[in-house]
Amino acid sequence: MPLYTISTRRPLSAPEQQALVSGVTEAHCTITGAPAQFVQVVFSRGVHLRSKNSLHILGSIRAGRSDRIKSALANRFIEVASQVLGCSFARCTVDLIDVPASWVIEGGAVMPEPGEEQAWLAQHSS
């Protein structure tokens, strides 16, 4: 958690995928303070997107993030996607969905609330 699904019309090259994973992970961690090990990114290609869209990012993030943080995430993801794919901002869309931390289990433990990651990691690291 979070889980970002990046959907595109065309297959992405391995370097494009890696650049998107790196950009999304860096943005999420910088903006939210969450550790990189929590970030998951998956790709879906050949998706019928809205007219003229090149890319769609659907992010399931832990509930409790402010509107300011969500807006910063969405804007940064569009910047990253536009840079990596060479497309205009207008051809990229982002949707973020709040998911209660209590609905997510990672490593056999319920995820912590935003801001409680360090204590959770200390308790659940092996």
Q: Are 62 and 104 in contact (CB under 8 A)?
A: yes
Distances (CA, A) of 17 to 24, 90, 91: 11, 20, 17
Q: Number of structural domains, the chain? A: 1
Which residue range forms the structural domain that includes residue 117?
3-124
Could you report the per-residue pLDDT of 51-101, keeping only the tens digit for each? 788 899 999 999 999 999 999 999 999 999 999 999 999 999 999 999 999
Position 126 scores a pLDDT of 62
**Higher confidence at residue 102 or residue 125?**
102
pTM of the predicted structure, to 2 decimals: 0.91
Q: What is the mean pLDDT of the chain?
A: 93
Asked if the model's pLDDT at residue 9 lies above 90, the reply is no
Q: What is the pLDDT at residue 53?
A: 86
Enter the tokens of residue 104: 């997510």
CATH (domain of 106): 3.30.429.10
Q: Which of 59, 62, 66 lies closest to 7, judged by CA?
A: 59
The interaxial angle of helices 14-32 and 67-85, nearest 10 deg, is 160
Interval 88-117 mean pLDDT: 92
